[in-house]
Amino acid sequence: MEIARAQAFAPASMGNFGVAFDVIGVAFAEPGDIVCAEWNDAPGVVITAIQGDGGQLPRDPARNTAGVAANSVLQRLGARRGVRLTVHKGLPLASGLGSSAASAVAAAVAVNALFGEPLPREDLLPACLDGEAVVSGYHPDNVGPSLLGGITMITGSDLREIRRLPVPETLRFALVTPDVAVSTAVARAVLPQTVSLRALVAQTGAVARLVDALHRGDLEAMAGAMERDGIIEPARAHLIPLLAEARTVAKRAGALGLVISGAGPTLCAVCDSDANARQVAAALGALYDEAGIANMTRATGVSTCGARVLAVE
């Protein structure tokens, strides 16, 4: 029997993983985006609705990450029929949680499922990157982990240049997203174009320490290495309200470290248990509440499987 409708979920992700700018990313267990795909007699992609975006995202499929990724899958499959998409945004826009990547990934997985999943999950990477390129450039620091899950080391846009890193068993996160939009374009514009040799050596050394800590499952060393960003975070710190205060509050509540998630403004605290993550999330939320800054908090873990098909009918 032909599948008439497919629904897929793609998780939020954190590019950079602290010190590892554009090199390491992680998929969070939640939140994420959901895309529903249905057949359409006309070729191409139609976006019938977007929910949860406050009317901000384009419905034009050529300008929407989900639409572009879906169309790329159709082209790769040589499809003669088109699809209609409904996008359910579970991620805030411009939040540093890989919102555009999640929409692209969920759309690609949903369309592939509509065809009975002829393409292996890894083969959807180029289509997802096509979608992400509409707003954030052709780079898989968010798309890679959202699609494939886990913690991924990214050294290029080809699948062969994406490596899965070990995920410490007790690794958990506390996330807080203050209600301040930080676009990827703005966050990129403030970065230095050149760095000193001393800064380069320190940064690459910290990334090496981070990878070593992951392989040893040493959460404390991992968090310490993540915080040793002497290039990107200092340039972006002024974009994130109460960054220094949040780091202090998180550690007092038991976090092992705190970093900017992607381009921000979401902050990600590294924790070692579910209870600890909930406690730290509550403390971070209280900090922003007291400052009169609206915010969202969440305790979460690592999504080891990445995107997944939720239903086919």
Q: pLDDT tens, 246-256? A: 999 999 999 99
- What lies within 8 Å, CB to CB, of 280 at 6+ separation is 174, 250, 253, 254, 255, 269, 271, 299
Predicted model pTM: 0.95
Contact 36, 86 (CB under 8 A): yes
The CATH fold assigned to 172-300 is Alpha-Beta Plaits (3.30.70)
51-83: buried (b, 16+ CB within 10 Å) or exposed (e) per residue?
A: eebeeebeeebeebbbbbbbbbbbebeebeebb
Q: Is 165 helix (H, G, I), strand (E, B) or coil?
A: strand
Whole-number Å distance between alpha carbons of 191 and 200: 14
- What pLDDT was estimated at residue 106? 98
The two tokens of residue 55 are 């009317």
- What pLDDT was estimated at residue 136? 81
Whole-number Å distance between alpha carbons of 114 and 109: 9
Residue of 38, 132, 227, 233 marked active site: 132
Q: What is the pLDDT of residues 221-243, one digit of tens each?
A: 999 999 999 999 999 999 999 99
Residue 86 a catalytic site member? no
Contact 275, 248 (CB under 8 A): no
- What pLDDT was estimated at residue 40? 95
Residue of 65, 86, 177, 184 marked active site: 184
Examine domains 5-166+303-312 and 172-300 and report if their fold is the same: no
% the chain with pLDDT above 90: 88
From the list 129, 239, 92, 218, the residue with the least C-alpha distance to 167 is 218
Residue 132 a catalytic site member? yes
Domain ranges for the chain, please list them.
5-166+303-312, 172-300
The CATH fold assigned to 5-166+303-312 is Ribosomal Protein S5; domain 2 (3.30.230)
Cα dihedral: 261, 309, 157, 23 (round 10): 30
The interaxial angle of helices 274-290 and 243-252, nearest 10 deg, is: 140
Q: What is the pLDDT of residues 118-171, one digit of tens each?
A: 999 999 999 999 999 998 878 889 999 999 999 999 998 888 889 999 999 999
- Helix or strand run (H / E) with residue 176: strand 172-178
Mean pLDDT, range 12-16, rounded to an integer? 94
